[in-house]
Amino acid sequence: MSETHGYDVGSSPVLNKTGAPVDEQTLRRYKCVFCGLLLREACQMACGDRTCRVCLPQELFQCPVCQEKIDPTKPQQFFPDKSCQNDMKTFQVKCGCGWQGPLLDWEVRVQFACAQNMQ
């Protein structure tokens, strides 16, 4: 499991497009059932639970949330969750360094700029 999983924002708050923090209960819908992080390339499984594309097992498995059996080699067992992906495009993260920006820019930003700002 060395591939990148979900977006790990640590303890930084996630904000919606109005700048208000997204509450934990809402945020849970945007977390992967496997890695527990914010969904990357969100997919919905046949059971309705969500996973990152890279976290989806390659063969028959049981959903860790609802225990339903999913066979990803069969059609219609999972699909890209466009509405979830669109919601996540509007999410912002507020970093400890003071930077605030789109969740999807988060990792690039952290690697190249935040470390310097924090010093």
Residues that bind Zn ion (CB under 5 A): 5-6, 32, 34-35, 47, 49, 52, 55, 63, 65-66, 95, 97, 99, 114
In sequence order, what are the residues at sequence separation of 6 or more whose Cβ sits closer than 8 angstroms to the Cβ of residue 114? 95, 96, 97, 99
| Nearest approach, Cβ of residue 69 and Zn ion (Å) | 10
Are the C-beta atoms of 58 and 34 separated by less than 8 Å? no
Cβ proximity to Zn ion: between 22 and 109 the closer is: 109
DSSP 95-107: -TTS-EEEGGGHH
Are the C-beta atoms of 52 and 35 separated by less than 8 Å? yes
Cβ proximity to Zn ion: between 25 and 112 the closer is: 112
| Nearest approach, Cβ of residue 109 and Zn ion (Å) | 7
Cβ proximity to Zn ion: between 16 and 109 the closer is: 109
| Nearest approach, Cβ of residue 103 and Zn ion (Å) | 13
| Amino acid type, 65 | V
Cβ proximity to Zn ion: between 57 and 86 the closer is: 57
| Nearest approach, Cβ of residue 7 and Zn ion (Å) | 9
Give Cα separations from 31 to 39, 50, 91 (angstroms).
5, 7, 13
